[in-house]
Amino acid sequence: MKEQINICGAGLVGSLLAIFLIQKGYRVRVFEKRKDPRITSDDAGRSINLAISHRGLHALKDALPELDLRALDLAVPMFGRAIHDEAGAVVFQAYGEASQHINSIGRSELNILLISKAASLGVEFLFAHTSTEYDATNKQWTFNDALGNATTTQSGEIVIGADGAFSVVRKQLLDTVQKQAQIDTLDYGYKELEIKVPFSNKIATKEALHIWPRERFMLIALPNKDGSYTATLFLPMEGELSFKALSTNEKIRSFFNTYFSDTLELIPDLEKQFEQHPTSRLATIHTATWYNDHTLLIGDAAHALVPFYGQGMNAGFEDCRILSEIIDKKGATNWEQVFAEFFTQRKKNTDAISDLALQNFVEMRDHVADASFLVRKKIEKFLHQQLQERFVPQYTLVSFSDTPYSNAKDVGVLHAGILDEIMALPGIEVLWPSEELEKKVIKIAEPHIIS
Ligand SMILES: Cc1cc2nc3c(=O)[nH]c(=O)nc-3n(C[C@H](O)[C@H](O)[C@H](O)COP(=O)(O)OP(=O)(O)OC[C@H]3O[C@@H](n4cnc5c(N)ncnc54)[C@H](O)[C@@H]3O)c2cc1C
């Protein structure tokens, strides 16, 4: 047996990392603040379902053969966006080619799958244990259980902080170098609402991510395996149309009646859910330092991002896969070198996906319902069909490939320039598609892209 590795946090990323590490021969111990989710549900205020796509599935498969398939057993495929307008009409926009899809999966079910697999491989889980103290001089971390019993790591023993966006490990690590994380809080909050009633035939497109885009705000809904949906309202915290303004049952119902009328029959207990479910804030967290010679941050603890590209967990799972590759390549005789290499590879990419996630918020809440945007998307798809690998849309690179996020971001900038030029062609919005325009579009795009 190799040395002991401690992970703080048995969330999605910590549990997957434990699976990677135990199979390399390390003794792996995971400290988790919550109670064991296999026994008791303790998920209040956390998103109920999330979208897992290529990067997440790739990491699961690398961690353990068929783990990706076991996760997909729990998931519902989503082949595109189902856009609901204010009059109740629904338009479907595919994410990519007909077979390409992302997958809606229950957070809790996925977490339980990962914890169960890790435990069956010999990972030791200590639930109801919270990271409390860090003695930087002696390189020791202390975890406490509910009764105040303390477990302290041996001097220099590895501790990996997978304790999420509000990471205590991050705070203590940064304190030692007198730095602070940069927390960019969005002026928006979100509230989850359960749709237990099946969608009516009119709006039933089960295998889709439903969006009600309303320019300054939006509602989305992801399908669950049992036929229900989990909707999330993203709304400014303050202002004329805001969570603060929705202060009475009458105002809540009237707001939904005006903007999301087709959902009223789906959420009969709207006011009750509004009151009972928390309103949470969203933030992007940038951390200048992720490691020292015995500590590393991973997943949301290192780089929490807003959820609009559906990539936070996927990026965290990719972190685990890449860290595993670096350990295999470098051999973990010098952990600081491993952590430094991990930071160098990941920081630029997680910064890029953080930016893209913010950009996608504007696209989802505002542009997806716009006629000009729809033509733009059709032209993007046409260029991909014609030019194949030479013109792969950014969404495809992010959601259906392992292309580093920073490269996907650069490609997005290049494509945006090309599409801006194309959309400036006179009359394109009404005249597309035509043979003449198709030729013009290719002529504009080709000189910009690498052969
Ligand atoms: C509304 C919303 C929707 C989202 N949708 C998507 C999506 O569709 N696709 C996607 O890829 N991502 C999505 N995300 C992001 C995703 O939820 C996170 O990126 C992911 O959960 C990060 O996993 P993690 O393990 O790093 O952190 P977490 O899931 O937060 O897990 C951290 C764990 O550490 C524990 N912990 C915390 N503090 C301590 C402590 N002091 N001691 C011990 N344990 C501790 C916590 O209890 C928790 O179990 C969404 C996020 C939100 C908010």
Same domain, 64 and 43: yes
300 CA to centre of ligand 1 in angstroms = 6
Which ligand 1 atom sits nearest the alpha carbon of residue 129?
43
What total number of domains does the chain contain? 3
* Residue 290 lies inside a defined structural domain of this protein: yes
* Shared domain check, 210 and 262: yes
Give dist(CA 177, CA 135) in Å, integer. Answer: 13
Query: Angle at which helices 405-423 and 335-365 pack, to 10 degrees?
Result: 30
Residue 94 within any structural domain of the chain = no
For residue 409 the two structure tokens come to 């971001």
| 45 vs 247, more confident | 247
How many whole angstroms separate alpha carbon 442 and alpha carbon 382? 9
**What is the DSSP code string of 82-102?**
EEE-TTS-EEEEESSSTT--E
pLDDT at 296 over 50: yes
- Which tens digit of pLDDT belongs to each residue from 239-252? 999 999 999 999 99
pLDDT in tens, 3-34: 999 999 999 999 999 999 999 999 999 999 99
Indicate which CATH number applies to the domain containing 161: 3.50.50.60
pLDDT at 194: 94
Ligand 1 atom nearest to CA at 14 = 25
Report if residue 220 sits inside a domain.
yes
Q: Are strands 209-213 and 218-223 parallel, antiparallel or unpaired?
A: antiparallel
> 358-374, pLDDT tens digit by residue?
999 988 887 777 889 98
Q: Give the DSSP per-residue string, 12-37.
A: HHHHHHHHHHHTTT-EEEEEESS--T
Q: What is the CATH number of the domain that holds 227?
A: 3.30.9.30
The residue among 258, 261, 31 whose CA lies nearest residue 124 is 31
- Name the pairing type of β-strands 76-78 and 49-52: unpaired
Residue-range definition of the domain harbouring residue 131: 4-76+105-182+283-359
Length of the chain in terms of residues written: 451
- Which of residues 327, 359, 391 is at a domain's end? 359
pLDDT at 47: 60
Residue 362: what pLDDT? 85
| pLDDT reported for residue 333 | 76
Kindly report the protein residue whose alpha carbon is nearest to atom 19 of ligand 1.
Answer: 312
Within a domain: 98: no
Which residues have CB under 6 Å of ligand 1?
A: 8-14, 31-34, 47, 50-51, 130-131, 162-164, 168, 190, 232, 299-301, 307, 310-314, 316
- What's the pLDDT tens digit per position in 383-434? 999 999 999 999 999 999 999 999 999 999 999 999 999 999 999 999 999 9
The larger pLDDT score, comparing residue 42 to residue 52, is at 52
Write the residue with the smallest CA distance to atom 4 of ligand 1: 307
**Average pLDDT taken over every residue of the chain:** 93
CA 279, CA 282: separation in Å to the nearest integer? 10
Residue 291 DSSP label: B
Residue among 12, 104, 142, 295 to mutate when testing ligand 1 (max atoms within 8 A of CB): 12
Q: Which residue has the higher pLDDT, 1 or 35?
A: 35
Q: Does 329 reside within a domain?
A: yes
Judged against a pLDDT cut of 50, whether residue 45 lies above it is answered with no
Q: Are residues 318 and 405 in the same domain?
A: no
Q: What would the mean pLDDT of 141-163 be, rounded to a whole number?
A: 96
Mean predicted confidence (pLDDT) in 301-305: 98
Helices within 260-370 (DSSP H only): 270-276, 300-303, 312-330, 335-365
Among 412, 393, 413, which residue's Cα sits nearest to residue 96? 393
Q: Which comes out higher in pLDDT, residue 116 or 40?
A: 116
DSSP, collapsed to helix, strand or coil, labels residue 126 as strand
Q: Are residues 345 and 378 in the same domain?
A: no
Helices (H), 121-245: 168-176
**H-only helix segments in 40-163:** 54-63, 67-73, 107-120
